[in-house]
Amino acid sequence: MLDELHVRNLGLIAEATIEPGPGLVVVTGETGTGKTLLLGALRLLGGEPARRDLVGPAAREALVEGRFLLGTEEVTLTRRIGQERSRAYRDGAMVPVKALAATTGELVEIVGQHDHLRLLDRAGVLALVDGALDDEGRAARVRYAEAWEHLVAVRARAALLGGDRRALERELDVLRFQIAEIDAAGFSPGDDEELTTRADRLRNAEALAAHLDATAAALGDEGAALGLEAAAKELAAAARLDPSLGALVERLDVVAELLAEVVADLGRIRLDLDHEPAALAEVEERIARLGDLRRKYGDTLDEILAFADEARVRADELTGLLDEADRIGDDLAEAEAEVAAAGADLHEARRRAAARIAADAVAHLRDLGFRAPVLVFDVAEASPGPGGMDRVELLFASDESLAPGPIARVASGGELSRIVLALRLAAGIRDATVLAFDEVDAGIGGATALALGEKLAALAEDRQVLCVTHLPQVAAFADRHFVVRRRDRVATVEEVRGDERVVELSRMLSGLPESDKGRDHAAELLARARRS
C-alpha cells in the first residue's frame, strides 16, 4: 500500500505530506483548490510524462515522493520535475521513468476520465473474467495451459524437420557418404606422423640400407655380438671365483639382450627396404588419400577424425527425426485436438463467469444511479494462443434503450469510474492493492451517493482505496479524511478528525461550515456510515 506521499511545489501545493493508512481514504476541498493534484502525484510515480506547468509558481523544481509497502519490503519512488527535464529515482538511485511504471504497474491503479484502464482493454477484461472463474473453470484453464505447452513442444519438434523430409534425407545421405569415406581410409590418431617418417625412410632406401648393413655387420655374430659373448663367458668364470661380480654378469646379460633386439629390429627395417618400390608406392598412396581427406574435412588428421565423430552424431539425430517424421503428423493433429477440446471447455467456463459478473455488476450499477444499464461481455472465439481461444470485449449502454458499444468509447469519465467499481465488486478481483478513483461521483447524489460510499468502503476492506470526492455521503465512509484548502494562491493538505471532520462535511453539505443544521446533518451522515 501507499505508506506516505510527499509533494513539494506541485501546482498550488507548496509542500504536503500525507500518510493515507489502510482502508478508504478520501480527499475533499473546494473547487479549484488542486485536490486532484494528489492523484496526479500518483500518476507521476507511475511513470506518466511530466509537464512543466506542474511546477509551482516561483519554484524551479517540483518533487513527488511515495513510500510503498510491498509485503515486507519498503520501496521509495521519487520524481523530480524541472523546467527542462524530469528525473526518476527508486530508493535514491536514478532509474529510467519506465522503471517506476514497472514497480507500480501491478500495485496502483488510478481510475479516471483520462486514464487508459488496464481493466478495460481486451487483455484486462480477459484477466477480469479469468479472475472470477469457478473451480471447474480454473481447472479448465490449467488443462488448456498444459495442452498449449504440449502443442508448442510438438510444433517445435516438427520445425526441426525443416518442413522438407527430402532435404533431411539428402543431408543424411551426404553424412553417411562422408563417414564411410573417412572410415574406409582406416586412419587412426598419429598415422599422419608415422606415414611421413616411413616415407622419408623409403625415399632414402639405398643410402639407408648401406648404413644399416654396416651397422648390422659391426653388431652381428662377427662383430660386437661375438666380442660380447666372449666377454660374458670370461666374466661368468670370474664370478664363480668372486660372487660379488654376479651383478655385473646380470648387467652384461641385459646388454646382450638389448643388443640382440637392436640387431633384430635392424633386420626388420632392412627387410622393408628390400621391398622399397612397392612399400614406397603404398605409403605415398596413403599420404595422397590423407591429403584428399584434408581438402574436404580438416587441416589435420585429428580434425578429420573429429569431423567423422560429429557427422555420426548428426546422422543419428537425423535418423531419429526421420523415424519420428512418420509419427509427427499424427502427434501434431492429436495435440491440436487437445488444445481445441481444452479451449472449448475454457470458453464455456469464461462465458459462465462473464454472465455472472455482468449480472452482479448491473445490480451494483443500479445502486450507483443507473436506471437500466446494460453490461455485456462479448466472449467470441479466436485463434488458439497461450491464453486460450477467446477474444473478450466489454460492451456497455447506460440505458437499455441504447445499443451497447465498447465501454472505453461509450462511457463517460464518471460512468467509467462507477463501472470499474461495480465490476471489481462483482468479480472480486484481488490485483491492485492501491486503487484510486477520480470523478467516481460525477453526476450523482442523494441515496445513490450513499450507496457509492458503502461500496467504496466495501472495496476498501482488503485494499487501500483513495478517492477524490465532492460528495459528503462518500466522505462520511472514509477511514481517513484529508482536506485541500487554498489560501493566497497556496494550497495546503490537512487531515481532519473529530469536530473538524464534522465541519468539513457541513461545508460540503450546505456550503456553511458552522451551520447548525449542516453540522447536525454531517453528524447524522457519520453515524449512518458507522452503522454500515
pLDDT in tens, 106-156: 778 777 655 445 666 788 889 889 988 999 999 999 999 999 999 999 998
391 to 99, 122, 205, 379: CA distances (angstroms):
30, 7, 88, 6
Q: Are 33 and 19 in contact (CB under 8 A)?
A: no
Residue 31 pLDDT? 78
d(CA 490, CA 495): 17
Q: Please return the burial class of 85, using the count of CB atoms within 10 Å of its CB with bins 0-12, 13-18 and 19+.
A: exposed
Other beta carbons less than 10 A from residue 514's beta carbon: 10
Q: What letter represents residue 76's amino acid? A: T
Do strands 73-82 and 86-90 pair parallel, antiparallel, or not at all (unpaired)? Answer: antiparallel
Lowest-confidence range among 7-21, 43-57, 79-93, 216-230?
216-230
Q: CA 377, 380, 385 angle in degrees (round to 5)?
A: 115
370 to 212, 367, 386, 420, 446: CA distances (angstroms):
117, 7, 37, 14, 13
Residue 354 pLDDT? 95
- Residue 515, C-alpha cell as written in the block: 451551520
The H or E element containing residue 154 is helix 135-159
Residue 279 pLDDT? 76
Residue 115 pLDDT? 46
Q: Are 376 and 404 in contact (CB under 8 A)?
A: yes
**Residue 401 CA to chain centroid, in angstroms?**
47
Lowest-confidence range among 199-208, 314-323, 327-336, 469-478?
199-208
Q: What letter represents residue 215's amino acid? A: T
Q: What letter represents residue 512's amino acid? A: L
Residue 118 pLDDT? 62
Through-space distance between the first and last CA atoms of the chain, rounded to whole angstroms: 24
| DSSP label at residue 288 | H
Lowest-confidence range among 120-124, 153-157, 258-262, 428-432?
428-432
Digit-coded pLDDT (tens) for 78-90 = 999 987 888 999 9
The H or E element containing residue 153 is helix 135-159
pTM for the full predicted model: 0.59
Q: Please return the burial class of 43, using the count of CB atoms within 10 Å of its CB with bins 0-12, 13-18 and 19+.
A: buried
Q: pLDDT exceeding 90 applies to what percent of the chain?
A: 45
Bigger pLDDT: 114 or 507? 507
